[in-house]
Structure 1
Amino acid sequence: MDVCRDVSPATHEPCNAANSCALIEDEIARSCALFDGDGAPMKGCGTDPKGSQAAADVVRRYYSAIDARDYATAWTQWGDDGRPGQTFAAFKKGFAHTRSTRVSVGALKPGEAGAGSIYQEVPVTVEATLDDGTRQRFAGTYVIRRVNGVDGAFASQLRWHIDSAVLKPASGG
């Protein structure tokens, strides 16, 4: 939320029902990725847009958007076309009864390069509360991907996005 306030010239809260903080943070991350290395660092670009922390931030924005019921922003964390093999309507319906989530990111290992891309594994524990108060807990890994400065790459390919996820029910709470 502080980043939203820092970069917004508006006289009212930039993060609101029409503009979730996840949306604002996503726009900032997109801009940081586009202008990385070109001139002075942009305000709000404290995290290296090519680094593992920026990859982990994708997962954090994903759950922040879900919490804000900003499913469009959550959807685009999977890339321009959303989650592969799923329609936006099905994606949104999958979270229809989710009241809130909390994601904890584990220790990040160095990313791996392959075929012009960088892949960063992001270990997570996700706690979800449903509308009826039921609590769920999942553990697993998101794989976050970005193109590694390949000539001709589109702007959307140069930023981190979710490539895949494997989450399983976990015990504890």
Structure 2
Amino acid sequence: MKKIATIVALLLPSWACTPSNNQQQNEAPPAAPAAPVAPAPPSPPPARTAPSAPAPKESLPEPKGPIDPKSTEAAGQVVQSYGALIEQKRWKEANALWGHNEIAASFQKSLSSYREVHLEIGNLGQAEGAAGSIFVTMPVVFYGVGRDEKPFRRPAEVVLRRVNDVDGSTEAQRRWHIDQINWGA
């Protein structure tokens, strides 16, 4: 008896779900089976990405128009130009950004001992006046590869100077120029 009750319990749900003859006549015939779909080609392996480089240091903001050659922003451009020129080993042009030829030549000699030199630029300091001149300091890091293939990083401060528009000053003195570069600790 239990077997019959179990069989009825199993069949009852399927019988209740079976459509009546009237319902079958009103319904559309079942759709033909769809054509087999070709399997999708395997996806290519993920591309290898190079390890991410460290985020570059923040550089000077882009000028929003002509730059006043007397502004500290113009002093910052002198350092940017110097960095670009030493990377390309364009020493004559790089040295022309200095106010003192002998100091420029000496500094060139120390930098040219490296196989590769780059310049990381910090934020300009505040302009300060003294004895008819304006000075501004910018922290930098010289980095690259030595002749021995070892990397190097040397912090420094670039001191820029321009003479105020005083009687007897030359045009070259009134432009921003590198006055000195002091190596950091």
TM-score (norm 2): 0.57
1:100 aligns with 2:116: yes
Alignment-mate amino acid for residue 152 of structure 1: G
| Alignment match, 2:91 | 71
Counterpart CA distance in 2 for 1:154 and 1:166 is: 26
Aligned equivalent of 1:82, options 97, 101, 113 = 101
Alignment-mate amino acid for residue 112 of structure 2: A
Which structure 2 residue ranges, 5 or more long, are not aligned?
1-64
Between the two structures, name the one with larger relative contact order (CA 8 Å, sep ≥ 6). 1
Aligned equivalent of 2:138, options 122, 126, 142 = 122
Counterpart CA distance in 2 for 1:116 and 1:75 is: 24
Deviation at 1:160, TM superposition (A): 0.7
1:150 aligns with 2:159: no
Residue pair 2:157, 2:184 contacting (<8 A) in 1 also: no
Aligned equivalent of 2:157, options 141, 154, 160 = 141
1:110 aligns with 2:138: no
Deviation at 1:91, TM superposition (A): 4.6
Secondary structure of 1:56 counterpart: helix
Aligned structure 1 segments of 4 or more residues deviating by more than 3 angstroms: 90-93
Partner deviation per Cα, 1:97-144 (whole Å, 9 max, x = no partner): 433333222222320011110000111122122244321101121110
| Alignment match, 2:181 | 165
Question: In 2 relative to 1, CA 139–95 (structure 1 residues): closer, same or farther, beyond 3 Å?
Answer: closer
Residue pair 2:117, 2:142 contacting (<8 A) in 1 also: yes
| Alignment match, 2:27 | none
Question: In 2 relative to 1, CA 52–83 (structure 1 residues): closer, same or farther, beyond 3 Å?
Answer: farther
Secondary structure of 1:133 counterpart: coil
TM-score (norm 1): 0.60
| Alignment match, 1:59 | 79
Residue pair 1:143, 1:164 contacting (<8 A) in 2 also: yes
Choose 1 or 2 for highest CA Rg: 2
Residue pair 2:86, 2:118 contacting (<8 A) in 1 also: no
Counterpart CA distance in 2 for 1:146 and 1:134 is: 37
Which structure 1 residue ranges, 5 or more long, are not aligned?
1-44
Q: Superposition RMSD on alpha carbons, in Å?
A: 2.2
Identity of aligned residues (%): 33
Partner deviation per Cα, 1:64-102 (whole Å, 9 max, x = no partner): 2212221111212212x4143x7x3x5544333433333
Alignment-mate amino acid for residue 118 of structure 1: I
